Amino acid sequence: MSTAPTHAPTMTSLPLAERLKPWLPVALVPVLMLLGFLAIPSSSSWLTLTLAGLAMGMMIFVIASGMTLVFGLMDVINFGHGAFISFGAFVGTSVLLALGSWTGAPSLMLNLLAIAAAVLAAMAVTGALGLGFERVIVRPVYGSHLKQILVTMGGLIVAEQMIFVLWGGHEIVIARPETLKGAITFAGAALEKYRLLAVGVGLVVFLSMRAVLRRTKLGLIVRAGVENPEMVQALGYDITRVFVGVFIAGSALAGLGGVMWALYQEVITVHMGNEIMILVFIVVIIGGLGSVEGCFIGALTVGLVQNYTAFLEPKLALVSNIALMVAILMWRPMGMVPVVKAK
């Protein structure tokens, strides 16, 4: 056998176009905002619509982020994810109604405490429901997409019926806490206070998730598991336990999203989770199945496109997100931030 060479390669710099390629999806959101600015005649309207789009996108991201990780890690398609949104909204609304004296008080501190209590209760309940859902409904159908679709749809129906039993079938109106009603004026634009809060919460959730995924060993295991769960096991990590943890966290985040959506719409219905799931699926698909960053960009894109289109051409608003999905999948068939999966 010949003497082994040192095999120490040198680095070369890629052309600028190649280096920028992975960042193109990130540029999509500012490009969309710029296009919106050019298309919308009034800058104050543009600012209001942009905030509305970002707030909507952040809420969808909070809901969809857990679902995309669940799919990425264990290849599980969970059509029952909407149940956690609805349950979160109903539990959170119940807490907010019970804390009516706090939400009605003109005190930002009391209002935020009431929302925090509602969010914690919703996340605890939906997290626990997620644990049961994974054990009873999802675990027996690992590896079979058709069975997953059927069984998780069934789980969604059961969950909706449970909400009927517990809260009744009628709509529940929920007013926003006193200090979060109305808008502030900035550069001539009316910016709803609650939307500003939703953007803040969404950003905190995204940055926290990113920090956990990028800077902790657990995040490393999750990212590796999304790509090749078998190899993660062969390295000594129990991927099933990690998956259960992600499923619970994803369910709890859907519960948080449910509370946020309830306060956004100011009314909740039994089927609200199911209705939002259409947007959630679009976001998960265009983001790249299993990618949190892609999910974030996808959610903001969906929120902005829906709001700009509703203002510029209301008749097209209904199909705008489907058209967006078609366009993005033609550009990037695996989604904006595709996840490499082991064969």
Q: Say if CB 249 and CB 68 are below 8 A apart.
A: no
DSSP annotation of 190: E
Residues 234-263 that bind another protein (CB under 8 A): 234-239
Amino acid at 192: E
User: Measured from the CB of residue 12, what is the shortest distance to another protein in angstroms?
Assistant: 11
The answer to whether 15 contacts another protein (rule: CB under 8 A) is no
Cβ 211 to another protein, closest distance in Å?
A: 15
Binding residues for another protein, total number by CB under 8 A: 33
189 Rama sector, left if φ>0, alpha if ψ -120 to 50, beta otherwise: beta
Name which of residues 148 to 177 contact another protein (CB under 8 A): none
Spatial separation of the C-alpha atoms in residues 138 and 115, rounded to whole Å: 31
Minimum CB–partner distance for residue 228 and another protein (Å): 6
> Would you say 6 or 185 has its CB closer to another protein?
6
Tell me the closest approach of the beta carbon of residue 22 to another protein, in angstroms.
10
Position 12 contacts another protein (CB under 8 A): no
Q: Which of residues 205-234 bind another protein (CB under 8 A)?
A: 217, 220-221, 223-224, 226-228, 230-234
- Does 334 bind another protein (CB under 8 A)? Our answer is no
| Planar angle of CA 314, 320, 321, nearest 5 degrees | 140
Residue 2 near another protein by CB under 8 A: yes
The 3-state DSSP class for residue 268 equals strand
Instruction: Using alpha carbons only, give the angle 135, 136, 137 rounded to the nearest 5 degrees.
Output: 105
Beta carbons of 77 and 148 less than 8 angstroms apart: yes
State the DSSP H helix or E strand holding residue 63, giving kind and residue range, or none if neither. Answer: helix 43-74
Query: Judged by CB under 8 A, does residue 20 bind another protein?
Result: no
- Contact residues toward another protein (CB under 8 A) are 1-11, 217, 220-221, 223-224, 226-228, 230-239, 339-340, 342-343
